[in-house]
């Protein structure tokens, strides 16, 4: 399984996104389904609403409904870890969506992430492990 950040969700659905082609080309090579978190879905929904409006938001809902994108629901311990991570990486800075993905990676033992965010080259899994970033 691979974690999925908001950036690729946006790029896959917004043909005007500069990362659209790279994300659509790599998608068939990735394990399915894509695993994301509520903060990432919320971020993608918000930005898709700004860029493409309701039609693009509805396309994202369809990916969720078809099971192509599935949610990881954070535990209480993960939510505490998110706060710690956001403080640890406050100079980057780390947002809630990124913190939720790092905490999920730690909980689930996943190091692969589908993201357009270069910050994942900085973040560490359990303070030591590195992410394998796609694309």
In sequence order, what DSSP letters do the residues of 48-62 get, joined into one string? HHHHT-HHHHHHHHH
pLDDT value of residue 107: 98
Q: Do the Cβ atoms of 6 and 47 come closer than 8 Å?
A: yes
pLDDT value of residue 58: 97
- CA–CA gap between residue 94 and residue 25 (Å, rounded): 28
- CA–CA gap between residue 18 and residue 1 (Å, rounded): 25
Residue 129 DSSP code: B
Structure tokens at 89: 């990486």
pLDDT value of residue 81: 98
Q: What is the pLDDT along the chain (135 residues), one digit of tens a residue?
A: 999 999 999 999 999 999 999 999 999 999 999 999 999 999 999 999 999 999 999 999 999 999 999 999 999 999 999 999 999 999 999 999 999 999 999 999 999 999 999 999 999 999 999 999 999
Q: What share of the chain is helix, strand, coil (3-state, %, to 5)?
A: 55, 15, 30
> What architecture is the 2-134 domain classified under in CATH?
3-Layer(aba) Sandwich (3.40)
pLDDT value of residue 106: 98
pLDDT value of residue 104: 98
- CA–CA gap between residue 64 and residue 69 (Å, rounded): 5
Structure tokens at 71: 């949610």
Polymer length of the chain:
135
């Amino acid at each position: 399984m691979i974690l999925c950040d908001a950036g690729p969700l946006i790029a896959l659905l917004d043909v005007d996104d500069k990362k659209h082609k790279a994300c659509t080309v790599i998608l068939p090579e990735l394990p399915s389904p894509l695993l994301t978190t509520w903060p990432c879905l919320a971020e993608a929904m918000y930005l898709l609403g700004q860029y493409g409006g309701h039609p693009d938001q509805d396309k994202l809902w369809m990916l969720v409904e078809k099971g192509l994108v599935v949610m990881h629901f954070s535990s209480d311990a993960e939510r505490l870890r998110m706060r710690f991570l956001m403080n640890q990486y406050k100079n980057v800075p780390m947002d809630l969506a990124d913190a939720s993905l790092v905490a999920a990676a730690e909980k689930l033992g996943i190091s692969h992430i589908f993201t357009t965010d270069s910050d994942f080259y900085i973040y560490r899994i359990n303070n030591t492990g590195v992410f394998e970033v796609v694309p």
